[in-house]
């Protein structure tokens, strides 16, 4: 992402009003691919956005998010409790993602056996069920911290193209350090999944409410159980390399229902993270030798 796009976000600012009608739509944050944003509307309104119908709570709070490839203009319809409909057009900041092309690789097929495929499908179904939850607890409102210390080794949205074949984009943030490095809840929430999975290894979901959740993958130890409520900063797991991982790291994914989001956007950083940046004492230490902007 270019620096000037970050300035655009700042201009959108906190609490900007997108409508001059009687009931304004209040959007609390930047509208950018991979980000989530709380909305304030008339209490108990219904919101239609990206083929999803949401209900604002009795305080008028709702939350929406933008996918990696969200279009520049998206429509949002608010239906007030009295039936009046309001149409809004949201402008979404478009990002540039890291694309790596690697050619000339020997072709090699790894085909999992039937039992493994069955486990992968069952894992996927369990995760999909947890991603459908819409807990009416606004845990996300009390702020976020970095969940672990370590080096950034993978960023959101990046894509490898191997011998001309596009792999699925990387939909989270990788933070690498030693096995056993503590991992803390970035924000309060409810544990909606704590399970050993084939590909993602030991996996924990922390639901932050209103469809927003963190997923932690490749964990060594899971220190929480499904149904438990955790506080921001609580130790929940340790870093490992379980599942399909080449070394110990935390894959921190965030999602709004099944829409994958970029955790780094929470922290309103001056530039995108790159390999070589570090998380130390809940701060980013930017690797200035590699900075591109």
Q: Which residues bind Zn ion (CB under 5 A)?
A: 154, 172, 174, 251
4-13 as b/e: b if 16+ CB within 10 A: eebeebeebe
The smaller minimum CB distance to Zn ion, of residues 138 and 154, is found at: 154
What is the nearest approach in angstroms of Zn ion to the Cβ of residue 249? Answer: 7
What is the nearest approach in angstroms of Zn ion to the Cβ of residue 234? Answer: 23
Cβ-closest position to Zn ion: 251
Residues contacting residue 37 through CB under 8 Å, at least 6 positions apart: 27, 28, 29, 30, 31, 63, 64, 65, 66
Measured CA to CA in angstroms, residue 36 lies from 24, 227, 260 at distances of: 19, 24, 10
CA distance 27 to 50: 16
The smaller minimum CB distance to Zn ion, of residues 42 and 174, is found at: 174
DSSP state of 211: T
The smaller minimum CB distance to Zn ion, of residues 208 and 251, is found at: 251
What is the nearest approach in angstroms of Zn ion to the Cβ of residue 170? Answer: 6
The smaller minimum CB distance to Zn ion, of residues 174 and 220, is found at: 174
What is the nearest approach in angstroms of Zn ion to the Cβ of residue 284? Answer: 18
The smaller minimum CB distance to Zn ion, of residues 115 and 168, is found at: 168
What is the nearest approach in angstroms of Zn ion to the Cβ of residue 252? Answer: 8
Half-sphere exposure of 33 (CA within 13 A, CB side): 17
The smaller minimum CB distance to Zn ion, of residues 76 and 254, is found at: 254
What is the nearest approach in angstroms of Zn ion to the Cβ of residue 254? Answer: 12
Structure tokens at 177: 């350090």
Within the chain, residue ranges assigned H as helices are 3-12, 114-131
What is the nearest approach in angstroms of Zn ion to the Cβ of residue 279? Answer: 15
The smaller minimum CB distance to Zn ion, of residues 157 and 209, is found at: 157
CA distance 186 to 261: 15
DSSP string, 7-47: HHHHHH-TTEE---SSSPPEE-S--BTT-EEEEE-STT-EE
């Amino acid at each position: 992402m270019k620096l000037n796009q970050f300035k655009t976000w700042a201009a959108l600012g906190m609490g900007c009003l997108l409508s001059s009608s009687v009931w304004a739509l209040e959007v609390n944050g930047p509208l950018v691919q991979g980000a989530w944003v709380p909305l304030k509307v008339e209490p108990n309104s219904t919101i239609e956005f990206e083929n999803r119908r949401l209900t604002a709570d009795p305080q008028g709070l709702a939350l929406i998010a933008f996918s990696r490839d969200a279009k520049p203009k998206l429509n949002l319809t608010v239906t007030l409790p009295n039936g009046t409909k309001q149409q809004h057009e949201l402008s979404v900041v478009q990002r540039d993602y890291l694309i790596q092309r690697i050619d000339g690789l020997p072709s090699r097929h790894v085909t999992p056996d039937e039992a493994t495929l069955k486990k992968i499908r069952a894992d996927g179904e369990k995760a999909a069920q947890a991603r459908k939850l819409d807990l009416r607890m606004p845990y996300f409102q009390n702020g976020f911290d970095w969940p672990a210390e370590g080096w950034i080794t993978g960023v959101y949205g990046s894509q490898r193209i191997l011998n001309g074949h596009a792999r699925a984009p990387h939909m989270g943030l990788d933070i690498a350090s030693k096995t056993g490095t503590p991992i803390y809840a970035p924000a309060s929430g409810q544990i909606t999944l704590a399970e050993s999975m084939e590909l993602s290894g030991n996996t924990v979901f922390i639901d932050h409410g209103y469809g927003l959740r963190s997923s932690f993958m490749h964990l060594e130890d899971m220190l929480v159980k499904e149904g438990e409520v955790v506080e921001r900063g609580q130790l929940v797991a340790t870093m490992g390399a379980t599942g399909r991982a080449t070394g110990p790291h935390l894959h921190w994914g965030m999602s709004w229902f099944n829409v994958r989001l970029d955790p780094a956007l929470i922290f309103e950083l001056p530039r995108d993270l790159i390999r070589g940046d570090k998380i130390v004492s809940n701060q980013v230490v930017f690797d200035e030798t590699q900075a591109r902007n």
